[in-house]
Amino acid sequence: MVGATLGQVQAGRVANVCPPGLVPGEAESTADMLLAVLCDWLASERVRLAQSLLAEYAAEQRDVLKRQGFRYLAELLYLVSDLQTPSPDLADRRLRFVQYRPDIAERLAAVVEQTYQGTLDCPAISGVQAIEDVLASYRASGVFRPKWWLIVTDDRRDIGCLLLADHPNKGNVELVYMGLVPEARGYGWGLEIVRHAQRIARLAGRRRLVAAVDAANEPALRVYAQAGFGVWDSRSAFVRVFP
């Protein structure tokens, strides 16, 4: 045994890739061969998007990923809100949150798709996946609770969405995705949406609300900072898009 790599195919035609590891002294060409074979297999499984998340010091792994068609996407910051520390509530709640039901699935999909227009969160892969695959991928994160998938409205129109996943064994709720349609941005509604997510997680008895965000998405980072989130880790995201 001189090396190994791992690919995990997930819902939504997405795969997580662990770059090749080699025993000391093994030629780097072995890593290229391993990853090439893995990518051929992922393509045969109809994967659309493969992703690999690397620590800052993983220079050799970055190089082999690039040689096999992966490109740098973004620096992802992992954020956490300690729900045991009381946070101020918003006295003026201007938004309504409509819980997911099967009969409004198309309505939710339409809202999520609209929020990707002009997004600052990993914009390089916006539109790469079909919306059905995107939602299947979101749904596979943690424990899916339909009442935690929400369409955000201002009483007149749908302006955004909030999708949460439960991780009860870890005491976490994950903010899988939140977004606003372009015409609803700039009004401070992001903070109210995040506060609502914190309320849900706290009422569920969870200890933390966690999220991941593109380090280049400054408006989102400001909202999370206002809501009391802190950074606990980071990873460099590399992706390969398959035909």
The reply to whether 103 and 57 lie within a common domain is no
Residue at 242 is within a domain: no
Smallest Cα–Cα separation from 237: which of 129, 79, 77?
77
pLDDT at 51: 97
Please identify which residue in the block is written with the tokens 């729900």. Answer: 83
Residue at 141 is within a domain: yes
Query: Which CATH number characterizes residue 222's domain?
Result: 3.40.630.30
The reply to whether 114 and 167 lie within a common domain is yes
pLDDT at 63: 94
pLDDT averages per 10-residue partition of the chain, 243 residues: 97 97 96 97 97 88 95 97 74 84 96 95 91 96 97 94 97 97 94 95 96 96 96 96 95
Give the domain extent around 222: 79-235
DSSP string covering 145-207: -GGGEEEEE-SSSEEEEEEEEEEGGGTEEEEEEEEE-GGGTTSSHHHHHHHHHHHHHHHTT-S
The reply to whether 122 and 142 lie within a common domain is yes
Q: Which of 15, 45, 69 is the last residue of a domain?
A: 69
200/49 Cα distance (integer angstroms): 31
Residue at 185 is within a domain: yes
The reply to whether 131 and 175 lie within a common domain is yes
CA 95 to chain centre: 24
Half-sphere exposure of 110 (CA within 13 A, CB side): 7
pLDDT at 56: 80
The reply to whether 117 and 198 lie within a common domain is yes
199/150 Cα distance (integer angstroms): 14
Task: Give me the number of domains the chain comprises.
Answer: 2
pLDDT at 59: 84
pLDDT at 169: 96
94/124 Cα distance (integer angstroms): 32
pLDDT at 88: 61
The reply to whether 95 and 20 lie within a common domain is no
Residue at 191 is within a domain: yes
The reply to whether 83 and 135 lie within a common domain is yes
pLDDT at 57: 76
Whole-angstrom CA distances from 65 to 46, 72, 220 are 19, 9, 29
Q: Which of 49, 69, 89 is the last residue of a domain?
A: 69
The reply to whether 48 and 126 lie within a common domain is no
The reply to whether 40 and 115 lie within a common domain is no
180/220 Cα distance (integer angstroms): 11
Residue at 74 is within a domain: no
The reply to whether 134 and 186 lie within a common domain is yes
The reply to whether 20 and 116 lie within a common domain is no
144/164 Cα distance (integer angstroms): 8
The reply to whether 103 and 208 lie within a common domain is yes
Q: Which of 40, 69, 98 is the last residue of a domain?
A: 69
Residue at 12 is within a domain: yes
Residue at 34 is within a domain: yes
Residue at 199 is within a domain: yes
